[in-house]
A and B are shown apart, each in its own frame.
Chain A
Amino acid sequence: MPDAAPDLEGARVDGPDFEGWVCPLPLRDSPTVVMGHGGGGAMSAELVEHLFLPSFGAAADAGMGDSAVLDVAGGRLAFSTDSYVVRPMFFPGGSIGDLAVNGTVNDLAMSGARPLALSTAFILEEGTPLAEVARVAETMGVAASIAGVRLVTGDTKVVDAGHGDRVYVNTAGVGVVPDGVDVRPDRARPGDVVIVSGDIGVHGVAVLSCREGLEFGTTVETDSAALHGLVAAMLATGGDVRVLRDPTRGGVAASLNEIAGSSGVGVEITERHLPIPQPVADACSLLGLDPLYVANEGKLVAFVAPDDAEQVLEAMRGHEHGKGAVVVGSCVEAHAGMVVARTGLGGTRVVDMPLGEQLPRIC
């Protein structure tokens, strides 16, 4: 059985409306997830009608069928999926719901796509308070509305208590890549300018600050945001934006290494130019973490042809999610596949691909 529900203060809904449910009586008194909710029958339908749809709000299509058919105006289809298992589910500034929507929207945007629609699949652990599920769904509805995408189809399954972890969410998304847009991880070339859209390390620190065993007080809140508008502004300049990546797990370091590898180029960055806000730097000092490896949920890394870098940078800075955009380095022919940083002191060090999860250290 999961332990007590989190404090719902600040939640924007009063919880699902249980009047008129056919659920067995005890459920109305202590509304939690039961196996029947995943059964596909009347109880599942009720969960969709009385919990998910009201919680998603304006972003959801009223008739959520098994699949959704969408009009796709000229272009190529972008398709992406991601599952979200973050703990804790609610952290400073956001929740698993924000990540579930913005994360998949951003994956689409990194191909230069305009996101169209998302599916939402839930795996719920028996015994999870329904109010908690509703709150996650509600944050998804709000994030989707802000991002301008629709939640058009979904699924719910329930697993026995102890065999899940409250709420797991999967979202899959489709989007349209306009003709002429060619953004791919293998397009980076020596000479390309590497740009980061703003402060790094923010999301990871926000989540770590409330993880059991590590709790620390901080003002840092997640930077989760949908970036397709920023990408559109960058592409609208007509400049050659060659590679885009959102540096989530593994941080900026992982993204740069992946691109260096895919494109067969070396990447050089200058540590002094990395935009690391002081509270993030301080938290990392405390735990012995390197901000380059800490997750971001509302930032992108861009590789831009050198002649177009300035105008793309200007367009970024004119957009709400790119105000803090800075050039952090460039691509080189040397050390293909490897990322090298110039340290504050003027030395160099390799910024390697992270192995697994970065752990706090004592040494």
Chain B
Amino acid sequence: MKYLDEFSNPELAQKLLEQIDAATTGRWAIMEVCGGQTHSIIRHGIDQLLPDGIELIHGPGCPVCVTPLELIDKALEIAARPGVIFCSFGDMLRVPGSTDDLFRIKSAGGDVRVVYSPLDALNLARDNPDREVVFFGIGFETTAPANAMTVYQAQRLGVRNFSLLVSHVLVPPAVAAIMESPTCRVQAFLAAGHVCSVMGTAEYPPLAEKYSVPIVVTGFEPLDILEGIRRTVLQLEQGRHEPENAYPRAVRDEGNPAAMAMLRDVFDVTDRTWRGIGMIPGSGWRLSERYREFDAEARFDVGGINTAESEICRSGEVLQGLIKPHECAAFGKECTPRNPLGATMVSSEGACAAYYLYRRLELQEAGAHA
């Protein structure tokens, strides 16, 4: 695919790796925020190819992983109701709630459907006027414009049997929360490229300043990630802490004004609980007053949910980059992609799943020599 394949070129990757190697003299801990970046790093083996002095800490940028347990349980409750068509991105299907997941609800007779776009869910609502169609609106700022437009259209076209179960989370407050943590080891951030395609880069200079960290907007293909790391290392080695854009082909400083205007109209900032991390003030979006009628939480009175997290799951610490997945006692034993205890093992870009799926060989060999 044009403008994608070229950014996987192995020869250019080798050049970038050599540059990174040449520049690295210290030991640096860099966090990649976005789960998609984590996936790409582990999948292509980038973490294995970097010099020893560079540690990549995998951040909480996995919207599937951080969706609060209570909301998942509410989703399951709604999906199980007769007359409801529950639509979701594929990523959410196996995320465990307290006792169930969407897959099991489906096999018990719930009408659960995977869609590629929230507009597909809206079309389902129009084609099935006698059913209630609910869309599970998770995601970071990248996905929010799509969900916003869908709700906006629903209102414009008068599609009353459609609603959105909202769980949007925002990156900059998460970056701040991570830096505020007393156990924080992060010295620099690779910012999420496609979040910035929407939101621009304006939120990062204050963060870079306040916490004295380089923040480099980075893409997702192997060359993009290596370039983001290269620029970050150069900053760290030079004692700089600036915002920088290493993904200019898809990110403009001003972001996408049309999308941001829609987001301001459809969503309000709210406090949001991140699964495994806790409440981060002002870190989420919910439907604004004007669109509240499309809020599935209000439409389906889902109360009295008793959530129960697994006691041995340490997803939260993984999400904050405090431990590596294999440092959790349950990793690979009680907790596997087949039987995930927490969301970081279920989502394909959750750090635990990534390690289990792609890194079992090294972990096995390391264990053999332990």
Please report A residues at the B interface, Cβ cutoff 8 Å. 213-214, 272, 278, 281-282, 285, 287-288, 335, 338, 340, 343-350, 352, 355-356, 359-363
- The interface of chain B, by Cβ under 8 A from chain A, is 1, 4, 8, 10, 13-14, 35-36, 39, 42-49, 62-64, 89-91, 93-94, 103, 113-116, 120, 139, 143, 222, 337-338, 347-349, 356-361, 364
CB pair A335–B361 under 8 Å, yes or no, is yes
Q: Determine if B49 and A363 form an interchain contact, defined as CB atoms under 8 angstroms apart.
A: no
Give which listed residue, A340, A350, A355, A363, contacts B347 with CB less than 8 A: A363
Contact A345 B357 (CB under 8 A): no
| B63 with A363: CB separation less than 8 A | yes
* Contact A349-B39, Cβ < 8 Å, known A359-B91, A360-B114, A363-B348: no
CA of A350 to CA of B48 in the docked complex: distance in angstroms? 13
**Given A335-B364, A343-B43: A281 and B114 interface contact (C-beta under 8 Å):** no
Once bound together, how far apart are the Cα atoms of A340 and B114, in whole Å? 30
- The answer to whether A355 and B338 have CB atoms under 8 Å apart is yes
B358 touching A360 by the CB < 8 A rule?
no
CB–CB B91/A347 < 8 A? no
User: Which of A213, A214, A287, A347 has the most B CB atoms < 10 Å from its CB?
Assistant: A347
A350 / chain B contacts, CB cutoff of 8 Å: 357-361
Bound Cα distance A359, B116 (Å): 10
Residue of B36, B47, B64, B90 with most chain A CB atoms under a 10 A cut-off: B90
Q: List chain A residues, Cβ under 8 A from B62.
A: 363
Q: Contact check: which of B1, B116, B359 meets A282 at CB < 8 Å? A: B1
Whether A363 contacts B64 by the Cβ 8 Å rule is: yes
Contact status B116-A345, CB under 8 Å? no
22 contacts between A and B (CB under 8 A): A214-B114, A281-B1, A282-B1, A288-B348, A338-B360, A338-B364, A343-B43, A343-B45, A344-B44, A344-B222, A346-B45, A346-B49, A347-B45, A350-B357, A352-B357, A352-B358, A355-B94, A360-B89, A360-B90, A360-B116, A362-B89, A363-B35
Contacts of B36 in A (CB 8 A): 363
A213 vs B118: C-alpha distance when bound (angstroms): 10
A63 → chain B closest CB, angstroms? 42
Q: Is the CB of A213 within 8 A of B114?
A: yes
Q: Is the CB of A349 within 8 A of B358?
A: yes
- Give Cα A362–Cα B47 distance, bound, in whole angstroms: 23
Which chain B residue shows the least CB distance to A340? Answer: B361
B1-A213 in contact (CB<8A): no
* Chain A: CB-nearest residue to B9: A344
**Would A362 and B91 count as touching, CB distance under 8 A?**
yes
* 6 nearest CB pairs, A to B: A347-B45, A359-B90, A349-B358, A347-B48, A362-B89, A360-B90
- Would you give the shortest CB distance from B5 to chain A, in whole angstroms? 8
**Nearest CB in chain B to that of A271: its residue:** B44
* Known interface pairs A362-B89, A363-B64; A344-B8 also in contact (CB < 8 Å): yes
Do A344 and B139 form a contact, CB below 8 Å, given A349-B358, A359-B91? no
**Given known A-B contacts A361-B90, A363-B64, A363-B348, A349 and B46 have beta carbons under 8 A apart:** no
**CB proximity of B90 to chain A, nearest CB, Å:** 3
- A213-B116, A345-B8, A360-B114 provided; 20 other pairs, C-beta below 8 A? A214-B114, A287-B116, A344-B13, A345-B13, A346-B14, A347-B44, A347-B45, A349-B43, A350-B359, A350-B360, A350-B361, A356-B94, A356-B103, A360-B89, A361-B348, A362-B89, A362-B90, A362-B91, A363-B63, A363-B64
**Is B43 a contact partner of A355 (Cβ separation < 8 A)?**
no
Give CA–CA (A237, B328) in the complex, Å: 52
Closest CB-CB distance, A351 to chain B, in whole Å? 9
A278, A345, A362: the one contacting B222 at CB < 8 Å is: A345
- Complex CA distance for A335 and B114, rounded to whole angstroms: 36
Task: Find out whether the CB atom of B1 lies under 8 angstroms from the CB atom of A285.
Answer: yes
Which residues from chain B contact A282 at a C-beta distance below 8 Å?
1
Set of chain B residues within 8 Å of A213, measured between Cβ atoms: 113-116, 120
| Complexed CA–CA distance, A288 and B89 (Å) | 12
Choose from B1, B10, B116 the contact partner of A346 (Cβ within 8 Å): B10
Give the CA-CA distance A325 to B143 in the complex, in Å. 41
A345 adjacent to B64 (CB under 8 Å) = no
Give the residues in chain A near B45, CB-CB below 8 Å.
343, 345-349
A252 to B287, CA, bound (A): 44
Tell me the complex Cα distance, A340–B139, Å.
32
Question: Which B residues touch A288, using CB under 8 A?
Answer: 90, 348
- Complex Cα distance A338/B64, Å? 28
Min C-beta distance of A201 to chain B, whole Å: 14
Contact, CB under 8 Å: B361 / A363? no
List the B side residues contacting A362 at CB < 8 Å: 89-91, 139, 143
Return chain B residues, CB-CB under 8 Å to A344. Answer: 8, 10, 13, 44, 222
Q: How far does the Cβ of B123 sit from chain A's closest Cβ, in whole Å?
A: 9
Q: Taking CB as reference atom, which chain A residue is nearest B362?
A: A348
Name the A residues within 8 Å of B49 (CB-CB).
Answer: 345-347
Provide the bound-state CA to CA distance between A281 and B222, in Å. 16
Residues on A with C-beta less than 8 A from B64 are 363
Task: A343 to B63: give the CA distance in the assembly, Å.
Answer: 27
Q: In the complex, A344→B12 CA distance in Å?
A: 12
Cα distance A346–B16 when bound, in Å?
A: 13
Contacts of B44 in A (CB 8 A): 343-345, 347, 349
Pick from B39, B46, B63, B347: contact of A347, CB below 8 A. Answer: B46
A285 touching B8, Cβ below 8 Å: no
C-alpha gap A3/B115 in the complex (Å): 21
Q: Please name the residue on chain A nearest to B50 by beta carbon.
A: A347
In the assembled complex, the CB of B309 is this many whole angstroms from the nearest CB of chain A, namely 22
Which residues on B sit within 8 Å (CB–CB) of A363? 35-36, 39, 62-64, 91, 347-349
* CB of A168 to closest CB in B, whole Å: 18
Neighbouring B residues of A214 by C-beta, 8 Å: 114-116
**Docked pose: A363 CA to B353 CA in angstroms:** 13
Give chain B residues whose Cβ lies under 8 Å from the Cβ of A272.
10
